[in-house]
Amino acid sequence: MDVQMDVKTNQYTGTQELVYTNNSPDTLTRVFYHLYYNAFQPGSMMDVRSRTIADPDRRVGDRISKLKSDEIGYLHAKSLTMNGKPVQFKEVETILEVTLPEPILPNTSTTFQMEFEGQVPLQIRRSGRDSEEGVRYSMSQWYPKMANYDEQGWHANPYIGREFYGIWGDFDVKITIDKTYVLGGTGYLQNPNEIGHGYEDEGVKVPEPKGNTLTWHFVAPQVHDFMWGADYKYKHDKVQMDNGITVHHFYIPGPKTTENWEKLKEYTPKAISYMSQRFGQYPYKQFSVVQGGDGGMEYAMSTLITGERNLASLVGVMVHELAHSWFHGVLASNESLYPWMDEGFTSYASGWTMSNIFQENANPNRGSYSGYYRLALSGLEEPMSTHSDHYHTNQAYSSAAYSKGAVFLAQLGYVIGEEARDRGMLRYFNTWKFKHPNVNDLVRIMEKESGIELDWYKEYFVSTTKTIDYGIKEVMASGDNTEITLERIGLMPMPIDLVITYKDGSQESIYMPLVIMRGEKPQEKGTPVRIHTDPWPWTNLSKTLVLTKPFGSIKSVEIDPSKRMADVHQENNKKEF
């Protein structure tokens, strides 16, 4: 792409050459492009949805409906050809519907040439100009972006404000803009010694630009999105990591930013190192943290975050958006269909990363569990298999995607054991990077890694809103033995770890896997010795165990003291004597 940005009108023009390879076995007669900026216009689907949803996002509310003509966003195709032949196209708000003059056969490539023009909207949600913190340009979802065609067909969702899905590509982008502006975002700058602005090699004297503009040339291999932030006030910090990765920070210096952004230079490299070791090697040569947008949002090799935060909040949002690089960036599951596989797994990973960076020992996912419990008991829950645009409320969407999605992985450690789950996460990344995995792909990896069947876990926890509730019904003496009766009250079955604590302080456990698991998790490190394994068929609502210990020696009996099983009513999980 070659783009000219006018910083006075906030309008831009560009050309795009797209070499599209049809890797599917299907013949394509149509293609679709996303034109996201057209959502920022009064009366758009995003505007109507934002005003009529039961619990509006306060960042959007009715703001789109009030945009004036020089504040709206737009993105229009001016011309389009396919292999040099003119192509018919029709703009339907945020989607360009394209009828091809000739089909694209399987395993062939075709070249599209487009001229386009756009206007950057006043910043409403994620992207836009002149953010609350005074950042001039947060340029995300700004270019005509080919929709993805995969084994489920086209994904040409209209943009109503939530989640993205794109095709892998090698990007080559030239941006011409006023010479005072500093740019940061996706990609590797190809002409750093011409541009300067903190990109130049050490000791290089950057020549004064001849005109009023500079042309920034970026390349970004194997990404599915391209974002850039731009401001003439940005300070650009560069940190070189030992492993060859460069970390860039861009922020507007001031009393609310400078001190904490200075400290951030220590945390971003630390987080990249931890995430790489725990979840798979970060595959790019740079990561850029750019002040902009309206909170935090992930992009290829980069993030846009608001910058006027206390240190804990600044590190927290950086870690969250960085963790997206693994799930949104590199695995890139369809976020519209499986938002929980991105936001949930990101929340899970950022919880672990934060607790590692700040040396905390408490359960890193405790916040996700409480979020899920609130959702499950609210009456608003919808299955995680819901398309992100189609949740009835923002609350049901965000609690399912962020909290329940994180619990899916944290709780998986309870089902198959932490070690198998952790090995599985690395194998998942290494097997499925750059391939858009779906939930079945993940579950199959975890089955292979653990030797345990997990289809039931996926069905119940992802496709339904059934909840987990087990309880201890009765503990009673039976001669020299003790009889323990447990009950399943909730509709979702789970394997049970039952821990018995004796009056002498010792502990033992009884493990009750589900028959449908066709396997057992190994004894976990640091857990009480397992004296007994006894499957519990899911059809049976109660189970009675005989413990060959006198009732008088028992201090307490407890279901899952690790609290990794997401039991929505914990009060019946423990009996003390």
Q: Under rule CB under 5 A, which residues in 83-112 are in contact with Zn ion?
A: none
**Minimum gap (Å) between residue 165 Cβ and Zn ion:** 15
> For Zn ion, which is the closer residue by CB, 16 or 346?
346
What burial letters (b/e) apply to 217-238, b meaning 16+ CB within 10 Å? bbebeebbbbbbbbbebbbbbe
Identify the three-state secondary structure at position 435. Answer: coil
In whole angstroms, what is the distance from residue 247 CA to residue 269 CA? 7
What are 455's two structure tokens?
């289809």
Q: Under rule CB under 5 A, which residues in 346-365 are in contact with Zn ion?
A: 346
Which phi and psi (to 5°) does residue 528 adopt?
-60, 145
How many CA atoms within 13 Å lie on the side-chain side of 459? 9
> For Zn ion, which is the closer residue by CB, 131 or 325?
325
**Minimum gap (Å) between residue 510 Cβ and Zn ion:** 39
**Residue nearest Zn ion by beta-carbon distance:** 343
**Minimum gap (Å) between residue 399 Cβ and Zn ion:** 14
> For Zn ion, which is the closer residue by CB, 148 or 346?
346
**Minimum gap (Å) between residue 85 Cβ and Zn ion:** 41
Q: Under rule CB under 5 A, which residues in 424-483 are in contact with Zn ion?
A: none
Query: 45, 274, 242: which is closest to 161 by C-alpha?
Result: 45
Identify the three-state secondary structure at position 426. Answer: helix
In whole angstroms, what is the distance from residue 478 CA to residue 177 CA? 83
> For Zn ion, which is the closer residue by CB, 325 or 346?
346
DSSP 103-136: EE-TT-EEEEEEEEEEEPPBSSSSSEES-TT--S
Strand 302-305 versus strand 286-291 pairing type: parallel
- Inter-residue contact 184 to 229 (CB < 8 Å): yes
# of chain residues touching Zn ion (CB under 5 A): 2
**Minimum gap (Å) between residue 322 Cβ and Zn ion:** 10
**Minimum gap (Å) between residue 300 Cβ and Zn ion:** 14
**Minimum gap (Å) between residue 346 Cβ and Zn ion:** 5
Q: Where are the alpha helices (DSSP H) in 157-218?
A: 192-195
Contacts with Zn ion, 1-40, as mask; x by CB under 5 A:
----------------------------------------
> For Zn ion, which is the closer residue by CB, 44 or 325?
325
Contacts with Zn ion, 314-343, as mask; x by CB under 5 A:
-----------------------------x
> For Zn ion, which is the closer residue by CB, 121 or 316?
316
Strand 235-240 versus strand 246-251 pairing type: antiparallel
**Minimum gap (Å) between residue 298 Cβ and Zn ion:** 6
> For Zn ion, which is the closer residue by CB, 71 or 321?
321
- Inter-residue contact 197 to 288 (CB < 8 Å): no
> For Zn ion, which is the closer residue by CB, 348 or 414?
348
- Inter-residue contact 575 to 556 (CB < 8 Å): yes
**Minimum gap (Å) between residue 402 Cβ and Zn ion:** 7
Which part of the chain contacts Zn ion (CB under 5 A), choosing from 36-44, 152-160, 345-353, 461-469? 345-353
In whole angstroms, what is the distance from residue 35 CA to residue 77 CA? 9
Q: Under rule CB under 5 A, which residues in 377-416 are in contact with Zn ion?
A: none
In whole angstroms, what is the distance from residue 99 CA to residue 102 CA? 9
> For Zn ion, which is the closer residue by CB, 261 or 326?
326
Name the residue with tokens 């829950």.
381
Positions touching Zn ion (CB under 5 A) are: 343, 346
